[in-house]
Chain A
Amino acid sequence: MTAVVETPVINPVEPFLRMDRMPHIWCPGCGIGTTVNCFARALIESKADPEKLAVVSGIGCTGRVAGYLHVDSFHTTHGRAIPFATGLKLANPSLQVVVYSGDGDLFAIGGNHLIHAARRNIDLKVICVNNFIYAMTGGQTAPTTPEPATTTTAPYGSYEPAFNLPYLTESAGATYVARWTTYHVRQLTRSIVEMLQKKGFCLIEVLSPCPTLYQRRNRLGDALETMKYYKERSKTRHGAPTSEVGLTMQGDIVVGKFVDRDRPDYLESMRRRLAEQLGDKFAGVGVLA
């Protein structure tokens, strides 16, 4: 008996990507492609309606994601992904708004926007790909560069303390904070699915190799070696206090879901306040007719 083999003709993630733009510009071994892959698989898994989804990116290597995803996407100015996304969410609250950007864009140039969005608890889903460096501009020291990594602007090694992104975001008021690496693909996909169902400001930090600038300049081998390092030195600790999850150069990495709590989001607080004050005169804010 000869069985007929039904070969799936396309990669399952292709419907979510603009394949006419492939191959993408990311370097061989760059982890951003893997995170996009996980994001697309999370969209398949969560059965999210692509018509109700908008992806906003800033500038940088990760900022290119918006251009490669085949959903409504928006490539904004440097550091301003969160303000654009906030406007999008307030104008059309039924949209699921995902901010997909890098550490330099979200936490350095757009740092203030991020902490205020977290404080107000605007319903944004933020995926921050952290490669420890400003990669697109040539590998300068970023606020996430660990001591004593060498970068183009720190030839003798960086001597600034690095940001602890989950700690910062939790302190500012985020409702969901998790960290994974590009090695933890299944966990990352599950985390994105969970985040898409959550209400309020959510952040997932994804550690990613930058083989061209960070790993090469620090003689840490190629992307594959970095992935093996993630595999060996990552410890999953769900609910770990975020003050203890700071990163050191080539040290242990605490991964997991650190924060999962509920707080009224911005639109909810606004509606409640205005309804209280205006009573019958309140016609509803942020509700599309």
Chain B
Amino acid sequence: MAKGFVCIQVERCKGCGFCVEFCPTRVLALSSAFNSKGYHPPHVVNGEKCSGCDLCGIYCPDFAIFGWKARASEGAAHAG
């Protein structure tokens, strides 16, 4: 059961990889897909490990990702 979630706005991403590298629970990986500008945005690979710490959001230079903590009732319904 995930304690938090991330929201990725793929089109804003420039593929720097900061969120992937500095995620403390290794939730993210760079995807092999492209966005319309030709960058590889991150995608969620370990959604259940996300703690919602929002460190990805604070590192992102392009404001393309953010995380938030789940409230007690909503964890099970939205894992990943």
A2 and B77 contact, Cβ closer than 8 Å, known pairs A12-B57, A17-B63, A22-B63: yes
Chain B: number of interface residues, binned into ranges: 20 to 34
In angstroms, Cα B73 to Cα A2, docked, is: 9
Contacting pair B74 A4 (CB below 8 A):
yes
A28 and B77 contact, Cβ closer than 8 Å, known pairs A8-B68, A17-B63: no
A5 and B77 contact, Cβ closer than 8 Å, known pairs A23-B12, A23-B62, A28-B39: yes
Interface check A151, CB cutoff 8 A: no
- A41 surroundings in chain B (CB, below 8 A): 58
Interface check B29, CB cutoff 8 A: no
The SS class assigned to the A binding surface is loop
Question: Which of A157-165, A221-229, A262-270 lies at the binding interface?
Answer: A221-229
- B60 surroundings in chain A (CB, below 8 A): 33-34, 37
Contacting pair A223 B58 (CB below 8 A):
no
Q: Which residue of B39, B61, B78 has the most chain A CB atoms within 10 A of its CB atom?
A: B61
Contacting pair A5 B62 (CB below 8 A):
no
In angstroms, Cα B62 to Cα A32, docked, is: 10
In angstroms, Cα B56 to Cα A9, docked, is: 17
Interface check A7, CB cutoff 8 A: yes
Chain A: number of interface residues, binned into ranges: 35 or more
In angstroms, Cα B18 to Cα A223, docked, is: 9
- Chain A residues within 8 Å of B, Cβ to Cβ: 2-8, 11-14, 17, 22-24, 26-34, 36-38, 41, 185-186, 189, 223-224, 227-228
Q: Offer 30 A-B interface pairs, CB within 8 angstroms, sorted by A.
A: A3-B73, A3-B74, A3-B78, A4-B74, A5-B70, A5-B74, A5-B78, A6-B71, A6-B74, A7-B5, A12-B66, A13-B57, A23-B37, A24-B62, A28-B14, A29-B14, A29-B17, A33-B61, A33-B62, A33-B63, A34-B58, A34-B61, A37-B58, A37-B59, A37-B61, A185-B59, A189-B58, A223-B16, A224-B18, A227-B22
Closest CB pairs A-B (n = 3) = A33-B61, A28-B14, A29-B16
